[in-house]
């Protein structure tokens, strides 16, 4: 099929590449001319495992191309996907101006029937607005259908998530649009759920909120584990073995971050209030998430006594491993907090340092060229992102390099007993602190 994607950010680019990989002809559009030029020159603006290869393969096969023109996209595709950013405003409301602008631009060049699909994460009832807007600016009176088709990919494993989805959600009103959408997804051989547009939009917010709730739930349990001497990993295993609950997303840590959960939970709270049915449970999810970082910092402060002039190493700056994305990363907040308290912080991240260098709040941080260089002379090591590189280091060398072997592990990468035997004072999340006897 001939498809186009307006917006070549994370979702747009990965979706476009995977659509091409299953045999569709895809045009990825963006209004950032430099990004399009770079993509045309074979340069991929984000780090996502496997993405570069998929893009290059499909560009060479002439199934994938990049353009700055919405007109070109609309003229040459049966289905136009919208995958533009929907950032959070200070009020908690979602900024839908990019979607509105794209809808108007599509309407202006619409001459034949097209399916216009919203893939961006939006509050419920946005599809209705998109349809209204297209109708209003539809100069040629062309027929069209609006569809909601939320995306569930995770950064770091986006290609796998897209190629093997748990489900495809198609929110649509017309049979014609549903049939075309089913054809797009036929090669993926995944279960398809057809709903009305409002339900599809709500599924996305409700799914992300539920996952965030799961994380906050185990983080709240981790505090009780610390206070009682229980082990959160064992508790998560024990409750996760119940198939009704499941072990995924029960990893206690320093709280969720990234470009999705914090924004989507805030947006869901706001829309629920606007609809007159405030979703207060989600406020508690947010509160627990913030508290988790504060509890971690408190442990660091209490152990080191004074942070001022302490040499602290931090491993991990991205909001999760296998990405270079540092948006709403708790790791970055931790660095900013420690710098503010006068610590000398040296950071290392396998992919996130280039973007971190641009963050003003952590301008004083020193960047190391390896995990080992970061711990040289350190009085404490903070682990903020669970990159596999960190899990596989030689801990005896780490200990030898540190001035005082104290580790604050915000991701429970290591076994406490092993750490004790190696001679570390080792703090983790929801597990007893250990120290050499
Ligand atoms: C999330 C959802 O998982 C995707 O399904 C969704 O499509 C995406 O948002 C989106 O809306 O675009 P993503 O933010 O890329 O994906 O990454 P996740 O793997 O969900 O991790 C989010 C945060 O939760 C990270 O900071 C991670 O460290 C944290 N997390 C995750 C935990 O603290 N514990 C866990 O058990 C799982």
pLDDT in tens, 288-300: 999 999 999 999 9
CATH class in words for 2-195: alpha beta
Backbone angles phi, psi at 223, to 5 degrees: -65, -40
* Residue of the CA atom closest to atom 9 of ligand 1: 260
Confidence of residue 399 (pLDDT cuts 50, 70, 90): very high
Q: What residue's CA is closest to ligand 1, atom 19?
A: 154
CATH of 204-285, one of 1.10.150.120, 1.10.1040.10, 3.40.50.1980, 2.30.40.10: 1.10.1040.10
Q: What predicted TM-score, i.e. pTM, was given to this entire model?
A: 0.96
pLDDT recorded at residue 91: 82
In this predicted structure, the answer to whether residue 286 has a pLDDT above a threshold of 90 is yes
Residue 260 designated active-site: yes
**Which of 216, 219, 256 has most ligand 1 atoms within 8 Å of CB, for mutation?**
256
Average pLDDT over residues 373-382: 98
**pLDDT of 93 above 90:** no
Domain with CATH 1.10.1040.10 in the chain: 204-285
pLDDT digits 0-9 by tens, 180-230: 999 999 999 999 999 999 999 999 999 999 999 999 999 999 999 999 999
Looking from the CA of residue 207, the nearest atom of ligand 1 is 5
Alpha carbon 9 to chain centroid, angstroms: 12
pLDDT of residue 207: 98
The predicted-structure confidence for 136-189, as pLDDT tens digits, reads as follows 999 999 999 999 999 999 999 999 999 999 999 999 999 999 999 999 999 999
Answer whether residue 9 shows pLDDT above 90. Answer: yes
The pLDDT value given to residue 92: 78
* Residues 7-19, mean pLDDT to the nearest whole number: 97
Cα of 105 to ligand 1 centre, how many Å? 32
DSSP code per residue over 194-261: EE-HHHHHHHHHHHHHHHHHHHHHHHHHHHHHHHHT--HHHHHHHHHTSTTT-STT---SS---SSSH
Dist. CA 304 → ligand 1 center (Å): 31
What would the pLDDT profile of 334-375 be if each residue is shown by its tens digit? Answer: 999 999 999 999 999 999 999 999 999 999 999 999 999 999
Q: Residue 88: how many CA atoms within 13 Å on its side-chain side?
A: 19
Q: Where in the chain is the domain with CATH 3.40.50.720?
A: 2-195
The residue behind tokens 């709040």 is: 361
* Confidence label for 16 from pLDDT (cuts 50, 70 and 90): very high
Of 161, 320, 383, best ligand 1 pocket probe by most atoms within 8 Å of the beta carbon: 320
């Amino acid at each position: 099929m001939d498809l186009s994607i307006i917006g070549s950010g994370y979702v747009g680019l990965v979706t476009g590449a995977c659509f091409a990989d299953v045999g569709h002809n895809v045009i990825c559009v963006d209004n950032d001319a430099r990004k399009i030029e770079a993509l045309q020159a074979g340069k991929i603006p984000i780090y996502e495992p496997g993405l570069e290869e998929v893009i290059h393969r499909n560009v060479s096969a002439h199934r994938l191309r990049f353009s700055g023109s919405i007109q070109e996209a609309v003229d040459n595709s049966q289905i136009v996907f919208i995958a533009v950013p929907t950032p959070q405003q200070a009020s908690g409301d979602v900024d839908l101006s990019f979607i509105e602008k794209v809808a108007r631009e599509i309407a202006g060049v619409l001459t034949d029937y097209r399916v216009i699909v919203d893939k961006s994460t939006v509050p419920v009832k946005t599809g209705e607005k998109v349809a209204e807007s297209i109708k209003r600016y539809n100069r040629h009176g062309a027929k069209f259908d609006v569809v909601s088709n939320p995306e569930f990919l995770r950064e770091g494993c986006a290609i796998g998530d897209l190629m093997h989805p748990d489900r495809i959600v198609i929110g649509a009103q017309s049979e014609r649009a549903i049939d075309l959408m089913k054809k797009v997804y036929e090669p993926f051989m995944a279960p398809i759920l057809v709903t009305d547009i409002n339900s599809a939009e709500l599924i996305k917010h409700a799914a992300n909120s539920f996952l965030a709730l799961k994380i906050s739930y185990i983080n709240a349990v981790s505090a009780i584990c610390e206070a009682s001497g229980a082990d959160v990993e064992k508790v998560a295993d024990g409750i996760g073995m119940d198939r009704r609950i499941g072990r995924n997303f029960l990893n206690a840590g320093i709280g969720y971050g990234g470009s999705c959960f914090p924004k989507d939970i805030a947006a869901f709270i706001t829309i629920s209030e606007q609809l007159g049915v405030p979703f207060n449970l989600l406020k508690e999810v947010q509160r627990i998430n913030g508290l988790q970082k504060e509890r971690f910092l408190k442990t660091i402060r209490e152990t080191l006594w004074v942070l001022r002039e302490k040499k602290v190493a931090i491993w991990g700056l991205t909001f999760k491993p296998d990405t270079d994305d540092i948006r709403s990363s708790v790791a970055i907040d931790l660095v900013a907090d420690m710098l503010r308290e006068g610590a000398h912080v040296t950071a290392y991240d396998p992919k996130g340092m280039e973007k971190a260098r641009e963050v003003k709040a952590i301008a004083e941080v020193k960047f190391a060229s390896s995990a080992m260089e970061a711990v040289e002379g350190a009085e404490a090591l903070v682990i903020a992102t669970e990159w596999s590189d960190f899990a596989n280091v030689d801990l005896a060398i780490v200990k030898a390099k540190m001035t005082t072997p104290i580790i604050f592990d915000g991701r429970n990468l290591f076994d406490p007993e092993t750490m004790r035997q190696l001679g570390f004072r080792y703090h983790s999340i929801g597990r007893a602190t250990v120290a050499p006897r």
